[in-house]
Structure 1
Amino acid sequence: MLFNSIEFAIFLPVVFILYWFVTSKALKLQNLLIVAASYLFYGWWDWRFLSLIIFSTILDFSIGILLSSQQNELKRKVLLWTSIIINLGLLGVFKYYNWFLDSLYNVIPGLQVIAGFNSLDILLPVGISFYTFQTLSYTIDVYKKSMEPTKDLVEFAAFVSFFPQLVAGPIERANHLLPQFQIRKSFNYAYAVDGLRQILWGLFMKVVIADNCAGFANQIFNNSDNLSGSTLVLGAIFFTFQIYGDFAGYSNIAIGTSKLFGFDLMQNFNYPYFSRDIAEFWRRWHISLSTWFRDYLYIPLGGSRGSKWEKVRNIFIIFIVSGFWHGANWTFIVWGALNALYFLPLLLTNANRTHVGEIAKGKTLPSAKEFLLILFTFGLTVFAWIFFRAENLNHAITYIGKILSMSLFEIPRFNDMRNALILILIVAIFLIIEWNGRGERYSISNLGLKWKKPTRYFFYYCIIGAIFWFGGKEQQFIYFQF
């Protein structure tokens, strides 16, 4: 079920009414409703995949209880690695088996005849990368004794399957989200209204920005052989805003929807395209995944401690694994390695924590130096996104080669340039709003709250109008494929 679908527009109010007006007197009933609604939401794509999420839920719930009662360290490690191997094993089979096999047979052509292994005709379950990491964080935290395991299967199932963030995050930690299913809530009108406002902005980012940028990005990437280098640069920029509007839009809808039910989810994006260096970008982009890798992979490896070689090794491991997490394609691995290369100079000069606060705080505009740093970091990011978007490495290299040709200095030309120019103007307005609200959890959080009601509601109706005017056929979110 897509957030930008008619089905969800019916589903959400029904669940909201049942949650606050039918089950509000009993916490257990509320949690049961969340589980039932989440399974319906997830099963809407393919009910067969429900068996995987139910299996992961029961597995990690059981291991959590066993860990709490087991004092023998060896047995505790066996339990932990049972969870890790089974969860990552399922993820590996569904997401990486065919890619690994094809890559191996390409390297050793005769191996397929000898080995006899064939590709599997299987679909990738939606959101498997997200809920797998969420359940793993629970098991690891219980093993580390940084949290007590729950004895309530229903509340744990609600934590794993919570429908607003189930299929594309944020990837929540158990010590943040799970306790929220253990407390009976009272309806907070102001919090719910804030949630609706965030949903509205998320829909604008998805439907108006991402989906319209997607049309031009797809047109340019799919016909890159016949277009000028300048047009290909424009295509990469369109994709840059497509993926941001798509994923940050999803996160805003997820967080806003959670607020309707009294839940607080972590911020997943913090205006990443205003970053002054690549280290700041990764503190602001897909925060839930970046911090997951930091806490469960980077720090256990030694983090930024140790020799220069160990620092370099750890950075490449975390970025390449992050790229691999996104999908079974060499383009994602190169994208991750490229970001590691971007990051290394900052790490080795101890400049990776130079920019940690809000940019140009209390100022209308950034300084000339800050503006140039933002522009440079944005350029690096756009270049890296080419690998992320390309069909394969050959496509990416050919695409970049065309950009570096003399045709880079031609005027961009492709079909429907008039609508592309209108979209560029809309993106510019979007960036102004984002810049103005960069100190908030989402950019229209406080925008217009002090305006007179007619002006404020006119602004909201303009956003709604833009969603209907520029919205076309409902499009799946990019990160559903990861």
Structure 2
Amino acid sequence: MVFSSLLFLFRFLPAVLLVYYIVPRRLRNFVLLLFSLGFYAWGEPIYIILMLASILISYTSGILIDKFKQAEKMQEARITLIVACVASLSLLAFFKYAGFVVETVNSLTGVSISMLHIALPIGISFYTFQTLSYTIDVYRGEAAVQKNLISFGTYVTMFPQLIAGPIVQYKTIDAQLRTRRETTEQFAGGIHRFMIGLGKKVLIANNVGALWNTIQAFAYSEVPVLTAWIGLAAYTFQIYFDFSAYSDMAIGLGHMFGFRFLENFNYPYISKSITEFWRRWHISLSTWFREYVYIPMGGNRVNKWRHIRNILIVWLLTGIWHGASWNFLIWGVYYGVLLLAEKFIIGKYLKKVPALFQHIYCMFFVMLGWHLFVFDHMAQGIEFLKSLFGLYGQGLLNRETVYLLYNNAVLLILCILGCTRLPQNIGKWISVKLAEKEILLAVVRNMFYVGVFLLSVAWLVDATFNPFLYFRF
């Protein structure tokens, strides 16, 4: 089940909201837990067992760690932490990477180990990182132990952010699990945020994704250079609007239930460097790796070579986290090398060139990064790379290029504008202009959100293309 589906919009969400607000406050976490398990079971019922195992491992480990710390038995607490982390990571490694390891061993050694053919549990990378952060923070003393299994299970399984993030650290919502107070204003803000995400997903991401799929289906040796770049730009827009839309809807849903999740995107495509881009893209993942991998290894408080090692390790793990394929590993190393280059070589020179050229530089390498990201098969990726740079001698454009531009010009312009703060600034300008006309402002604002919702529903009625790209991670 996905947020941008008629089933979710007209059946699941109304049902959970109705039950949630009818029951006494003390039962609301339990309602969220039950509906969240049902939400997950809709797609993969068998893997609820895996999720429950992960919950029990982290819940029990947190209690034991807290008990050992209170008894000043730090060695036992440390051993418990290690066992919990190894157990959680082992589950992730087996279900996500076992097939890749077997395939790699077979190709390198010539042996014929049988493939496991294990389906990847949806969202396992996200909820595993959440349970890990809880256990580590309890050990560090940065989070209070949660002794209520229902509340802890609600934290891990909460359907707004279960499938594709953002990665919510327990310490950021500990108090909310216990003492949140839902308000009409927060609920209304949640609806507005959800509608923005729904519109981004259905009206923009899905349509620009269809353009990418069209170009991706061409014979790459015959694709003109400009057509190839239009295709890569389409995927660049698709992955941003798709993933940021999911985060918008997750944050909006959180507001409806009284939770405040941290932001996950901050206009990454306006960045002027790769360093800035990764401060703005998938913020919850970058924060997780910084707090639980980079800083514990010493961060930048070590000598130069260890600092380089730390950055490369973090980005190697970031690539692997995204998927069990060589292209993700290379993608992670690619960004590690770029960040090192900016930090130690070109960063001081980059700041001296005009802002426009800084932005062009950043987006050029970001788009090449998405090229690495999208092609699971390296041979296919190399073929498309040749098309991007005209290595087949196929020319700059043809009639089909003009046709694609003509038919998708409005969509691409909307994508470009939607990546900037312009829509937000227009909204603020309208709010200021109508500040003294509260009724008119409310009418205009609600007409906008209702219009987005109706257009999205109309599109979904006949839609056959409605994926969420980050579900597979």
Aligned length: 457
**What are the within-5 Å matches in structure 2 for residues 270-349 of structure 1?**
270-348=266-344
Q: Is 1:38 aligned to residue 48 of structure 2?
A: no
* Structure 2 SS opposite 1:305: coil
Tell me whether 1:86 sits opposite 2:77 in the alignment: no
Partner of residue 453, structure 2: 464
1:72-471 correspondence to structure 2 within 5 Å: 72-109=73-110, 111-112=111-112, 117-185=113-181, 187-223=182-218, 224-348=220-344, 351=347, 369-405=354-390, 407=393, 409-411=395-397, 414=400, 418=403, 421-436=406-421, 446=428, 448-450=430-432, 451=434, 452-453=440-441, 454-468=443-457, 470-471=459-460
Indicate whether 1:475 and 2:473 are aligned: no
Q: Per-residue displacement from partner, 1:186-231 (whole Å, max 9, x unpaired)? A: x312211111111111111111221112112122223224312221
What CA deviation, in whole Å up to 9, does each residue of 1:237-270 have, x standing for no partner? 1000010011001000000011111110010000
**Is the contact between residue 228 and residue 413 of structure 1 (CA under 8 Å) also seen in structure 2?**
no
The answer on whether the counterparts of 2:209 and 2:234 sit within 8 Å (CA) in structure 1 is yes
Partner of 1:19: 20
Instruction: Tell me the distance in 2 between the aligned counterparts of 1:445 and 1:135.
Output: 38
The superposition leaves residues 249-301 of structure 1 with CA deviations (integer Å, 9 ceiling, x where unpaired) of 10000000111111100100000000110001001000000110011111111
Q: Distance in 1 between matches of 2:282 and 2:422?
A: 19
Please list the CA deviations of residues 13-45 of structure 1 after superposition, one character each: whole Å capped at 9, or x if unmatched. Answer: 21112112x22x332x10100100100111110
CA contact (8 A) 2:196 2:449 kept: no
TM-score between the two structures when normalised by the length of structure 1: 0.89
Give, as a single letter, the amino acid of the residue that structure 2 aligns with 1:239: Y
Q: Is the 8 A contact 2:269 2:419 kept in 1?
A: no
Q: 1:364 corresponds to which residue?
A: none
| Aligned partners of 1:315 and 1:344 also within 8 Å | yes
Could you tell me the percent identity over the aligned residues?
A: 32
Corresponding residue number in structure 2 for 1:358: none
Query: Hey, what's the Cα distance between the residues in 2 that align with 1:413 and 1:319?
Result: 41
**SS of the counterpart of 1:63?**
helix
- Looking at structure 1, the residues matched to 32 and 399 of structure 2 have their Cα atoms a distance apart, in angstroms, of 50
Please name the residue that 1:3 is paired with: 3
Alpha-carbon distance between aligned partners in 2 of 1:65 and 1:370, rounded to the nearest angstrom = 52
SS at match of 1:148: coil
Aligned equivalents of 1:18 and 1:474: distance in 2? 31
**Which deviates further from its counterpart, 227-236 or 94-103?**
227-236
Letter in 1 for 2:91: L
Amino acid at match of 1:268: N
Tell me the SS of whatever aligns to 2:411: helix
Verify: 1:68 aligned to 2:66, yes or no. yes
Give the unaligned 5+ runs of structure 2: 435-439
Shift of 1:142: 0.8
TM-score (norm 2): 0.90
Shift of 1:341: 1.6
Work out the CA distance in 1 between the residues paired with 2:287 and 2:418.
27
Q: Shift in Å at residue 458 of structure 1?
A: 4.2
Q: Summarize the Cα distance change of 1:384–1:189 in structure 2 as closer, same or farther, 3 Å threshold.
A: same
- Distance in 1 (CA, whole Å) between partners of 2:398 and 2:447 is 36
1:256 maps to amino acid? G
Distance 2:338 2:355 in 1: 18
